[in-house]
Structure 1
């Protein structure tokens, strides 16, 4: 009998193990690991099969990760689309309070950020230390992401646990383009 590794969902064949219990020699934990790995690897068709078999699109595993957080963070547009269309919540947080939107703000994946925002992701949902997706975009020099988040209603004045806001972070980095963007945004709000 061939062993199936949770690290390689393709090795099990075209159909996922049935959700909701053991399938053959698969335990529920193994099924969940295969499902999560399909999200991490961006296997949209396999994700669909798992969801058809009854897997919860909001399953949370180690460190609080969800399929949507993993697919988003790894830049898998098609997998993100499948998960959102199948009811995945865009605002679930991992154990550090990070959301899928925070992850893509950090990475700079604009198309996925747009998808998450269109699906109703809260633009200013802070993590455990009070940092918002906009703050991550600023901290990692993702100017286009910062622009998108501002247009979606992100607040540049939200303060984190250290008392800093996105404007402070842009000033610390000497990011003149973002500082100008924030001034432009502020003028538009007046």
Structure 2
């Protein structure tokens, strides 16, 4: 979610810029994903918060939870419609992030949800080979 402080209050795509309260909530959800706070995220997602919410650099809730090793939180976000293949602005996917960090259980959750091991730059498969993550490589084949 990007904020644009232009005079007309619109983002570059013409949408209304979010207000401070909405931005604060988004930041709270991003931090909850990083922290693995499944309870808080579950409450907001059940109330209608978008599972596809992204930071200004394109990191989704799934990406943040995956990169920080929170399998339960990843599963929860995916169950509410999060995208296992959503790449950030650098072309990195949640699966590649989990592989890079060595989070095998997170990788299992993402693969079960249809994550593509060959998507992204570098791909999860390439990251597993690069960092000799043999346990994850076995899952990818």
Which runs of no fewer than 5 residues in structure 2 stay unpaired?
1-17
Indicate whether 1:135 and 2:126 are aligned: yes
1:43-87 Cα offsets, whole Å, 9 max, x none, are 000001111222111111121101100001100111111101111
Aligned positions of 1:42-53 closer than 5 A: 42-53=36-47
Q: In structure 1, what is the Cα distance between the partners aligned to 2:120 and 2:77?
A: 22
Which of 125, 134, 138 matches 2:119? 125
1:169 matched residue in structure 2: none
What is the alpha-carbon root mean square deviation over aligned residues?
Answer: 1.4
1:72 matched residue in structure 2: 66
Indicate whether 1:103 and 2:103 are aligned: no
Which runs of no fewer than 5 residues in structure 1 stay unpaired?
1-20, 152-190
Q: In structure 2, what is the Cα distance between the partners aligned to 1:115 and 1:78?
A: 9
- After TM superposition, where is structure 1 displaced by more than 3 Å over at least 4 residues in a row? none
TM-score (norm 2): 0.82
Give the superposition deviation at 1:141. Answer: 2.1
Q: In structure 1, what is the Cα distance between the partners aligned to 2:117 and 2:137?
A: 11
DSSP 3-state at the match of 2:54: coil
DSSP 3-state at the match of 1:126: coil
Whether the aligned pair in 1 keeps the contact of 2:35 and 2:65 (CA below 8 Å) is: yes
1:89-120 Cα offsets, whole Å, 9 max, x none, are 10111011001000011112111111111101
Bigger radius of gyration: 1
Whether the aligned pair in 1 keeps the contact of 2:87 and 2:120 (CA below 8 Å) is: no
Q: 1 or 2 for the larger relative contact order (CA 8 Å, sep ≥6)?
A: 2
2:107 matched residue in structure 1: 113
TM-score (norm 1): 0.62
Whether the aligned pair in 1 keeps the contact of 2:65 and 2:74 (CA below 8 Å) is: yes
